[in-house]
Amino acid sequence: MKDYTVTLVYDLFNITTVIYADNEDEAKRFALQKLDQECGIPLDEPMKYQIKLEGEFNE
């Protein structure tokens, strides 16, 4: 498992959160769910948001 620092950028929104996930794909999926829940952003328009992902292995 890794801790991923995920920054979600959508128009004026810039949300940074830490997500605990097995891999980058899972971290991105969790991040998109969070973006949808917190901001009501339509996830079916992928060109309108960006995901910046940084991961660190837990010891």
Q: What is the pTM of this model?
A: 0.60
pLDDT at 59 > cutoff 50: no
pLDDT recorded at residue 6: 79
Q: Quick: pLDDT tens for 3-57.
A: 888 777 777 777 787 888 888 888 888 877 877 787 776 666 655 667 777 766 5
CB 6 within 8 A of CB 53: yes
Q: What integer pLDDT is reported at residue 45 of this predicted model? A: 63
* pLDDT the model gives residue 28: 82
- 9 sits in the region (left: phi over 0; alpha: psi -120 to 50; else beta) called beta
